Amino acid sequence: MASAIGRRQAFKLATQARLFSSSAARNAAQVKSLGVIGAGQMGLGIALVAAQKAGIPVTLIDQSQAALDKGLGFAEKLLAKDVSKSRLTQDQADKARSLLSPSTAIEDLSGVDFVIEAVPEISSLKFDIFAKLAKVCPKHTILATNTSSISITKIAASTTKDPTDLSASSRVVSTHFMNPVPVQKGVEIISGLQTSKETVDTAVEFCKAMGKIPSVSADSPGFIANRILMPYINEAIICLETGVGTRDDIDAMMKNGTNVPMGPLQLADFIGLDTCLAIMKVLYQETGDSKYRPSILLGKMVDAGWFGKKSGKGFYDY
């Protein structure tokens, strides 16, 4: 009898899992258009991958026309490179480019099914954007952020002044893509306290449609990736700062000793030292744990304007 009950329970759970999966897949299939806010490296990468892999139109928003022009120019270079290496045909590249529509008006997101915000890690900026999205976007639109450190619960709360009104906040989730987006497969899906399960499931399935491999994380400072990665990078900078090793020896040891494609100091340059510092500050402030204190050298380099690859100088010259 116990065995029969166990089999019935297992069958029930398996059926529920299939239903949840089927529902999420249907919701993801209903995502016919995407909005991306921020035409920088991350935003452009997300928009381009969505156009290529999911094959849906993408409205790319940035307050700067110059940033939009630069981003689209970069997209064309990436597509041309893929064509030259026979990863894409010219027709496929042309179709992907045709799906990208630039705009400086956030109101142009009034008809999209899914929005991903990818602006700098400034809390007030993100809160302001999500307050606007809650008013501009349809009631079914998933409102996603690419934040690497800011609380999803706080971002969700910015969509309304009434904490009991979950109409918009339940649709807020994080889709934290890894950099560079066209190359890296991983995406962190993070839910806030208000986020519905349907929103999380839909975000997971939509990221799969973009050719990514999603992992689900709790809304905790740094989430999974940066909770592990940033202290590693910060400690490498402290090792350089205190003379434990030279730049080249630190990076060579980690590359040759742990089989990673680049050392922590070079990786920091590619992420952006200003971004690394911002994330470490959030980890330190949110946890109060001294192990997350940002390196003094990291702060000085950011003060000097040495942000890494994007500024031409960091731990290495570019």
Q: Which two tokens stand for residue 161?
A: 């002044």
Q: How many CB atoms lie within 10 A of CB 252?
A: 13
Structural contact between residues 234 and 262, judged by C-beta atoms closer than 8 angstroms: no
75 annotated binding-site participant: no
Sequence-separated (6 or more) residues with CB below 8 Å from residue 170? 156, 194, 195, 196, 199
Report the candidate in 306, 284, 286, 309 with the shortest Cα–Cα distance to residue 294: 284
**176 carries an active-site annotation:** yes
CA atoms of 138 and 283, how far apart (whole Å)? 34
Answer yes or no: 226 catalytic: yes
Distance, C-alpha 61 to centroid of its chain: 16
CA–CA dist 234, 90 (Å, integer): 43
Structural tokens at position 238: 């402290």
Find the catalytic residue in 169, 188, 191, 234: 188
* Closest to 136 measured CA to CA, from 104, 181, 105: 105
Q: Enumerate the β-bridge partners of residue 166.
A: none
Cα 309 to Cα 249, 267, 306, 315, 316, distances in angstroms: 20, 10, 9, 9, 8
Structure tokens at 91: 């027709």
Say whether the peptide bond before residue 261 is cis (omega within 30 degrees of 0): no
Task: List the catalytic residue out of 176, 191, 234, 295.
Answer: 176
210 is in an annotated binding site: no
Is 41 known to sit in a ligand binding site?
Answer: yes
Is position 140 annotated as part of the catalytic site? no
Alpha-carbon separation of residue 280 from 38, 219, 253, 296 (angstroms): 22, 16, 23, 12
27, 33, 146, 148: the active-site residue: 148
Q: Is 254 annotated as a binding residue?
A: no
Has 22 been labeled as part of a binding site?
A: no
Cα distance between residue 134 and residue 145, in whole Å: 13
Answer yes or no: is 71 a known binding residue. Answer: no
Residue 85 labeled ligand binder: no
Residue 40 labelled as part of a binding site: yes
Say if CB 308 and CB 273 are below 8 A apart: yes
Binding residue per annotation — 121? Answer: yes
126 is in an annotated binding site: yes
According to the annotation, is 42 in a ligand binding site?
yes
Q: Is 309 annotated as a binding residue?
A: no
Catalytic, out of 146, 169, 226, 295: 226
Any catalytic annotation for residue 188?
yes
Catalytic residues: 148, 176, 188, 226
Binding site for NAD(+): what residues are annotated? 38-43, 62, 121, 126, 148, 179, 310
Binding site: what residues are annotated? 38-43, 62, 121, 126, 148, 179, 310
